[in-house]
Protein backbone atom coordinates (compact mmCIF):
# COMPACT_ATOMS: atom_id res chain seq x y z
CA UNK A 1 0.00 0.00 0.00
CA UNK A 2 0.96 3.66 -0.40
CA UNK A 3 0.57 5.38 2.95
CA UNK A 4 1.15 8.98 4.03
CA UNK A 5 1.77 9.39 7.75
CA UNK A 6 0.78 12.86 8.95
CA UNK A 7 2.80 13.74 12.06
CA UNK A 8 6.24 12.15 12.37
CA UNK A 9 6.69 12.18 16.14
CA UNK A 10 6.79 9.15 18.43
CA UNK A 11 3.79 7.22 17.05
CA UNK A 12 4.33 8.44 13.49
CA UNK A 13 7.91 7.16 13.35
CA UNK A 14 6.84 3.88 14.94
CA UNK A 15 4.35 3.36 12.10
CA UNK A 16 6.69 4.65 9.38
CA UNK A 17 9.42 2.20 10.44
CA UNK A 18 6.98 -0.72 10.60
CA UNK A 19 5.42 0.15 7.21
CA UNK A 20 8.83 0.30 5.50
CA UNK A 21 9.96 -2.95 7.10
CA UNK A 22 6.86 -4.68 5.74
CA UNK A 23 7.29 -3.59 2.14
CA UNK A 24 4.81 -0.72 2.05
CA UNK A 25 5.58 2.59 0.38
CA UNK A 26 5.37 5.24 3.07
CA UNK A 27 6.06 8.93 3.28
CA UNK A 28 5.94 11.28 6.21
CA UNK A 29 4.07 14.59 6.26
CA UNK A 30 5.74 17.27 8.36
CA UNK A 31 4.76 20.69 9.62
CA UNK A 32 7.94 22.11 8.09
CA UNK A 33 8.35 22.23 4.27
CA UNK A 34 11.07 19.62 3.90
CA UNK A 35 11.22 16.76 1.32
CA UNK A 36 12.59 14.14 3.71
CA UNK A 37 12.06 12.92 7.25
CA UNK A 38 14.44 10.89 9.31
CA UNK A 39 13.13 7.88 11.21
CA UNK A 40 15.20 6.65 14.14
CA UNK A 41 13.53 3.93 16.13
CA UNK A 42 14.77 1.67 18.91
CA UNK A 43 12.53 -1.40 18.85
CA UNK A 44 11.33 -3.28 21.95
CA UNK A 45 13.76 -6.12 21.07
CA UNK A 46 16.75 -3.74 20.97
CA UNK A 47 17.06 -3.49 17.16
CA UNK A 48 17.39 -0.08 15.56
CA UNK A 49 15.61 1.16 12.44
CA UNK A 50 17.31 4.16 10.94
CA UNK A 51 16.34 5.60 7.55
CA UNK A 52 15.60 8.78 5.67
CA UNK A 53 12.17 8.68 4.03
CA UNK A 54 10.40 10.86 1.53
CA UNK A 55 8.21 13.61 3.01
CA UNK A 56 5.65 16.19 1.93
CA UNK A 57 5.38 14.92 -1.66
CA UNK A 58 1.99 16.09 -3.01
CA UNK A 59 2.01 13.51 -5.86
CA UNK A 60 2.53 10.67 -3.38
CA UNK A 61 -0.26 12.14 -1.23
CA UNK A 62 -2.61 12.23 -4.22
CA UNK A 63 -1.94 8.52 -4.85
CA UNK A 64 -2.07 7.40 -1.20
CA UNK A 65 -4.29 4.47 -0.22
CA UNK A 66 -4.40 5.64 3.39
CA UNK A 67 -3.69 8.82 5.35
CA UNK A 68 -2.57 7.77 8.81
CA UNK A 69 -2.77 10.69 11.25
CA UNK A 70 -0.53 10.50 14.31
CA UNK A 71 -0.81 14.04 15.65
CA UNK A 72 -1.78 15.37 19.05
CA UNK A 73 -5.57 15.82 19.18
CA UNK A 74 -5.44 19.63 19.02
CA UNK A 75 -3.24 19.50 15.90
CA UNK A 76 -5.53 17.16 13.96
CA UNK A 77 -8.34 19.14 12.42
CA UNK A 78 -6.34 22.02 10.86
CA UNK A 79 -3.69 19.63 9.52
CA UNK A 80 -6.16 17.09 8.09
CA UNK A 81 -8.31 19.83 6.57
CA UNK A 82 -5.28 21.29 4.81
CA UNK A 83 -4.48 17.93 3.16
CA UNK A 84 -8.00 16.64 2.48
CA UNK A 85 -8.34 18.64 -0.75
CA UNK A 86 -5.26 16.89 -2.23
CA UNK A 87 -6.30 13.40 -1.16
CA UNK A 88 -8.59 11.23 -3.31
CA UNK A 89 -12.17 11.33 -2.02
CA UNK A 90 -12.13 7.55 -1.52
CA UNK A 91 -8.87 7.37 0.48
CA UNK A 92 -9.60 6.58 4.12
CA UNK A 93 -8.18 8.80 6.86
CA UNK A 94 -7.29 6.99 10.08
CA UNK A 95 -6.91 9.21 13.17
CA UNK A 96 -4.90 7.72 16.03
CA UNK A 97 -4.74 9.96 19.06
CA UNK A 98 -5.78 10.32 22.68
CA UNK A 99 -8.93 12.27 23.47
CA UNK A 100 -12.13 12.80 21.48
CA UNK A 101 -13.80 15.60 19.54
CA UNK A 102 -11.78 15.70 16.32
CA UNK A 103 -14.40 13.65 14.45
CA UNK A 104 -16.98 16.40 15.10
CA UNK A 105 -14.46 19.00 13.90
CA UNK A 106 -13.90 17.05 10.66
CA UNK A 107 -17.55 16.39 9.87
CA UNK A 108 -17.33 18.17 6.49
CA UNK A 109 -14.25 16.24 5.31
CA UNK A 110 -15.52 13.99 2.48
CA UNK A 111 -13.09 11.05 2.85
CA UNK A 112 -14.03 7.93 4.85
CA UNK A 113 -12.98 8.72 8.41
CA UNK A 114 -11.70 6.02 10.78
CA UNK A 115 -10.83 6.41 14.45
CA UNK A 116 -8.12 4.57 16.33
CA UNK A 117 -6.71 4.29 19.82
CA UNK A 118 -3.55 2.50 20.79
CA UNK A 119 -1.86 1.00 23.80
CA UNK A 120 1.58 0.96 22.13
CA UNK A 121 4.01 3.19 24.01
CA UNK A 122 6.69 5.19 22.21
CA UNK A 123 8.65 8.14 23.51
CA UNK A 124 11.25 10.51 22.21
CA UNK A 125 14.74 10.31 23.68
CA UNK A 126 16.79 13.01 21.95
CA UNK A 127 16.74 12.10 18.24
CA UNK A 128 15.65 8.55 18.93
CA UNK A 129 12.13 7.20 19.27
CA UNK A 130 12.03 4.41 21.84
CA UNK A 131 9.29 1.82 21.36
CA UNK A 132 8.83 1.24 25.07
CA UNK A 133 5.97 -1.26 24.95
CA UNK A 134 4.05 -3.14 22.29
CA UNK A 135 0.29 -2.92 22.47
CA UNK A 136 -2.97 -3.08 20.55
CA UNK A 137 -4.40 -0.56 18.12
CA UNK A 138 -8.19 -0.56 17.98
CA UNK A 139 -9.69 0.93 14.84
CA UNK A 140 -13.18 1.37 13.43
CA UNK A 141 -15.49 3.70 11.52
CA UNK A 142 -15.63 7.18 13.03
CA UNK A 143 -19.02 7.72 11.37
CA UNK A 144 -21.35 5.82 9.05
CA UNK A 145 -19.29 4.68 6.06
CA UNK A 146 -20.48 3.50 2.69
CA UNK A 147 -17.77 0.83 2.32
CA UNK A 148 -16.27 -1.87 4.52
CA UNK A 149 -12.81 -0.86 5.72
CA UNK A 150 -12.20 -3.78 8.07
CA UNK A 151 -9.57 -5.09 5.59
CA UNK A 152 -7.36 -2.26 6.88
CA UNK A 153 -7.14 -3.92 10.29
CA UNK A 154 -5.87 -7.10 8.59
CA UNK A 155 -3.28 -5.16 6.57
CA UNK A 156 -2.11 -3.12 9.55
CA UNK A 157 -2.04 -6.22 11.76
CA UNK A 158 0.76 -7.53 9.49
CA UNK A 159 2.63 -4.25 9.98
CA UNK A 160 2.42 -3.38 13.68
CA UNK A 161 0.46 -5.98 15.63
CA UNK A 162 -1.96 -6.10 17.27
CA UNK A 163 -4.66 -4.30 15.33
CA UNK A 164 -8.32 -5.01 16.08
CA UNK A 165 -11.35 -3.92 14.06
CA UNK A 166 -14.46 -2.68 15.90
CA UNK A 167 -17.72 -1.93 14.14
CA UNK A 168 -18.52 0.20 17.18
CA UNK A 169 -15.24 1.91 18.04
CA UNK A 170 -17.02 4.56 20.09
CA UNK A 171 -17.36 2.24 23.13
CA UNK A 172 -13.59 1.60 23.10
CA UNK A 173 -12.88 5.30 22.68
CA UNK A 174 -14.99 6.19 25.69
CA UNK A 175 -13.20 3.58 27.81
CA UNK A 176 -9.86 5.07 26.77
CA UNK A 177 -11.21 8.56 27.44
CA UNK A 178 -12.14 7.43 30.96
CA UNK A 179 -8.55 6.24 31.56
CA UNK A 180 -7.15 9.52 30.27
CA UNK A 181 -9.67 11.63 32.28
CA UNK A 182 -8.39 10.00 35.46
CA UNK A 183 -4.68 9.34 34.95
CA UNK A 184 -3.61 12.30 32.83
CA UNK A 185 -4.84 15.30 34.86
CA UNK A 186 -4.06 13.73 38.25
CA UNK A 187 -0.48 12.84 37.29
CA UNK A 188 0.00 16.22 35.59
CA UNK A 189 -1.18 18.10 38.68
CA UNK A 190 0.60 15.93 41.23
CA UNK A 191 3.76 15.54 39.12
CA UNK A 192 3.91 11.80 39.69
CA UNK A 193 4.21 8.55 37.72
CA UNK A 194 0.99 6.67 36.98
CA UNK A 195 1.60 4.09 39.72
CA UNK A 196 1.32 6.76 42.42
CA UNK A 197 -2.44 6.89 41.77
CA UNK A 198 -2.81 3.48 43.48
CA UNK A 199 -2.66 5.46 46.71
CA UNK A 200 -5.74 7.52 45.79
CA UNK A 201 -8.56 5.00 45.16
CA UNK A 202 -11.31 7.36 46.33
CA UNK A 203 -10.28 10.13 43.93
CA UNK A 204 -10.12 7.58 41.08
CA UNK A 205 -13.58 6.26 41.99
CA UNK A 206 -15.13 9.76 42.17
CA UNK A 207 -13.83 10.60 38.69
CA UNK A 208 -15.02 7.23 37.34
CA UNK A 209 -18.51 7.77 38.78
CA UNK A 210 -18.80 11.03 36.87
CA UNK A 211 -17.36 9.60 33.64
CA UNK A 212 -19.62 6.52 33.87
CA UNK A 213 -22.72 8.74 34.16
CA UNK A 214 -21.77 10.52 30.91
CA UNK A 215 -20.88 7.29 29.08
CA UNK A 216 -24.28 5.80 30.04
CA UNK A 217 -26.00 8.88 28.58
CA UNK A 218 -23.96 8.40 25.42
CA UNK A 219 -25.67 5.02 25.07
CA UNK A 220 -22.91 2.65 26.19
CA UNK A 221 -23.38 0.26 29.06
CA UNK A 222 -20.84 0.79 31.86
CA UNK A 223 -20.58 1.40 35.59
CA UNK A 224 -18.31 3.28 37.98
CA UNK A 225 -17.09 -0.06 39.38
CA UNK A 226 -16.22 -1.42 35.90
CA UNK A 227 -14.42 1.76 34.94
CA UNK A 228 -12.46 2.10 38.15
CA UNK A 229 -11.42 -1.56 37.89
CA UNK A 230 -10.24 -0.95 34.31
CA UNK A 231 -8.46 2.30 35.21
CA UNK A 232 -6.84 0.45 38.14
CA UNK A 233 -5.49 -2.19 35.72
CA UNK A 234 -4.00 0.54 33.49
CA UNK A 235 -2.44 2.22 36.55
CA UNK A 236 -0.81 -1.13 37.44
CA UNK A 237 0.36 -1.97 33.92
CA UNK A 238 1.79 1.54 33.35
CA UNK A 239 2.96 2.16 36.92
CA UNK A 240 6.33 3.57 35.92
CA UNK A 241 4.98 5.67 33.03
CA UNK A 242 5.10 9.42 33.03
CA UNK A 243 1.71 10.18 31.43
CA UNK A 244 1.69 12.11 28.17
CA UNK A 245 0.03 15.06 29.93
CA UNK A 246 2.68 15.22 32.63
CA UNK A 247 5.36 15.02 29.92
CA UNK A 248 3.66 17.94 28.14
CA UNK A 249 3.41 19.99 31.34
CA UNK A 250 7.04 19.31 32.25
CA UNK A 251 8.12 20.36 28.75
CA UNK A 252 5.71 23.36 28.88
CA UNK A 253 3.89 22.13 25.77
CA UNK A 254 0.21 22.53 25.00
CA UNK A 255 -1.65 19.57 26.58
CA UNK A 256 -4.52 17.46 25.22
CA UNK A 257 -6.79 18.41 28.16
CA UNK A 258 -9.35 20.16 25.88
CA UNK A 259 -9.90 16.88 24.01
CA UNK A 260 -9.82 14.66 27.13
CA UNK A 261 -11.57 16.21 30.14
CA UNK A 262 -12.74 19.11 27.96
CA UNK A 263 -14.62 16.71 25.69
CA UNK A 264 -16.15 14.95 28.70
CA UNK A 265 -17.36 18.31 30.07
CA UNK A 266 -18.90 19.20 26.70
CA UNK A 267 -20.83 15.94 26.51
CA UNK A 268 -21.79 16.17 30.20
CA UNK A 269 -23.24 19.64 29.57
CA UNK A 270 -25.18 18.35 26.55
CA UNK A 271 -26.75 15.62 28.68
CA UNK A 272 -27.27 17.78 31.79
CA UNK A 273 -24.95 15.58 33.89
CA UNK A 274 -22.94 17.18 36.71
CA UNK A 275 -19.20 16.34 36.68
CA UNK A 276 -17.76 18.68 39.34
CA UNK A 277 -14.53 16.82 40.09
CA UNK A 278 -13.63 16.54 36.41
CA UNK A 279 -14.50 20.23 36.00
CA UNK A 280 -12.19 21.10 38.90
CA UNK A 281 -9.28 19.13 37.41
CA UNK A 282 -9.90 20.67 33.99
CA UNK A 283 -9.73 24.19 35.44
CA UNK A 284 -6.52 23.38 37.32
CA UNK A 285 -4.74 21.90 34.28
CA UNK A 286 -5.86 24.85 32.11
CA UNK A 287 -4.56 27.25 34.73
CA UNK A 288 -1.17 25.51 34.71
CA UNK A 289 -1.07 25.42 30.91
CA UNK A 290 -2.16 29.07 30.56
CA UNK A 291 0.47 30.09 33.05
CA UNK A 292 3.43 28.75 31.08
CA UNK A 293 1.90 29.60 27.69
CA UNK A 294 1.51 33.23 28.77
CA UNK A 295 5.09 33.35 29.99
CA UNK A 296 6.21 31.68 26.73
CA UNK A 297 4.48 34.27 24.56
CA UNK A 298 5.47 37.19 26.78
CA UNK A 299 1.80 38.05 27.38
CA UNK A 300 0.90 39.74 30.67
CA UNK A 301 -0.42 37.52 33.44
CA UNK A 302 -4.09 37.91 34.43
CA UNK A 303 -3.20 39.52 37.77
Catalytic residues: 176
Contact status, residue 152 vs residue 114, Cβ threshold 8 Å? yes
Using alpha carbons, select from 169, 138, 143 the residue that is nearest to residue 156: 138
At residue 160, φ and ψ (nearest 5 deg) are: -140, 80
210 or 248, CB closer to ligand NDP? 248
4 or 244, CB closer to ligand KPL? 244
118 or 224, CB closer to ligand NDP? 118
Using alpha carbons, select from 177, 180, 159 the residue that is nearest to residue 243: 180
**What is the side-by-side order of every strand in the sheet holding 121-125?**
48-54, 36-42, 128-133, 121-125
Q: How far apart are CA 26 and CA 6, in angstroms?
A: 11
Spatial CB neighbours of 20, under 8 Å, sequence gap ≥ 6: 26, 39, 49, 51, 53
238 binds ligand NDP (CB under 6 A): no
- Least Cβ distance, residue 135 to ligand NDP (angstroms): 8
177 binds ligand KPL (CB under 6 A): no
| Apex 298 CA angle, 296 and 303, nearest 5 | 105
Q: Which listed range, 155-163, 176-184, 210-218, 279-287, lies at the site for ligand KPL (CB under 6 A)? A: 176-184
238 binds ligand KPL (CB under 6 A): yes
Tell which positions 242-261 bind ligand KPL, by CB under 6 A.
Answer: 243-244
Binding site for ligand NDP (CB under 6 A): 6-12, 29-31, 70-73, 75, 79, 96-98, 118, 120-122, 124, 244, 256
Binding site for ligand KPL (CB under 6 A): 98, 179-180, 183-184, 194, 234, 238, 241, 243-244
Amino acid sequence: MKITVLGCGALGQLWLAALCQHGHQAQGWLRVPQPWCSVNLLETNGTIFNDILMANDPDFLAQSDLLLVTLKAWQVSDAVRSLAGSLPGTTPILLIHNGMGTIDELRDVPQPLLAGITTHAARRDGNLIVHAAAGTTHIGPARALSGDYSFLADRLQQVLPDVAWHNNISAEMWRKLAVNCVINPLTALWDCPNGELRRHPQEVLTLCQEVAAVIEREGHHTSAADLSYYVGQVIESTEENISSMLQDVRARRHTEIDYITGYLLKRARAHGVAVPENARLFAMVKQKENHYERIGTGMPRPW
